[in-house]
Amino acid sequence: MTNKNYKVSVVNPAQIKGFGQSELSRTKTDKVGCKLIARFCRAMSPPIWQPIPENIRLLYSLVKRLEDLQKMEREELNHFDVSHNHVKDSISKTSEFLANEIEEIKKQINKLLNDDPELRAKKDLLKTIPGIGEATIAQALSMQCTPERFSNGRVNKPNCLISELKLLRDVSLLLQNDPVP
């Protein structure tokens, strides 16, 4: 819908239900429900939803695929010691294939993080935090956890990892400059 220039808002259905109850509306037909939603939007002006950018969706897909492949590799390696000798060769081949796929996905993630100026800037910021490595950076960025996406105090702030990581970096810098006795 956003591709067709429609304004889209994501609203908790309980808010619309409460709005309807405040109007003493109890009829539940599609037509009445649509009108109720329209009145709610006119009266409350909910914030316009912004779709996740393509580069973040791609990064999320790659990170998710990496996690899936790593899980499969762990499962195969866990089977190796308890498996019959006749299937160990198959497990070894599968593990080798998965290891190669994992490396390929990691290369794709690194290429995306380095080639995209916005992602590279955020990656460089996250790298300044002691203890934050490449895997955590890719995961944090794939979750689209940037402070500007959460300007409304009621919107999913606990998942805003970058803000929390910035705070960790600041605390870490303070501790480095003024060590605790």
Name the more confident of 108 and 52: 108
Other Cβ atoms closer than 10 A to 10: 9
Judge contact between 49 and 10, C-beta under 8 A. Answer: yes
- The domains of the chain are located at 2-44, 54-177
Print burial letters for 36-47: b (CB count within 10 Å at least 16), e (below 16): bbeebeeeeebe
| Least confident interval from 8-12, 42-46, 49-53, 109-113 | 49-53
Question: How far is 6 from 84, CA to CA, in rounded Å?
Answer: 59
Q: Is the dihedral of CA 168, 173, 174, 179 positive or negative?
A: positive
Judge contact between 108 and 62, C-beta under 8 A. Answer: yes
The whole-number pLDDT of residue 71 equals 95
Name the more confident of 119 and 50: 119
The whole-number pLDDT of residue 103 equals 97
Judge contact between 69 and 122, C-beta under 8 A. Answer: no
pLDDT digits (tens, 9 = 90+) for 122-153: 899 888 887 888 888 898 888 865 444 444 54
Mean pLDDT of 22-44: 87
The whole-number pLDDT of residue 181 equals 40
Q: What rounded mean pLDDT belongs to the chain? A: 81
pLDDT digits (tens, 9 = 90+) for 71-86: 999 999 999 989 999 9
Residue 29 parent element (H or E): none
Print burial letters for 111-139: b (CB count within 10 Å at least 16), e (below 16): ebbeebeebeebbeebeebeebeeeebbb
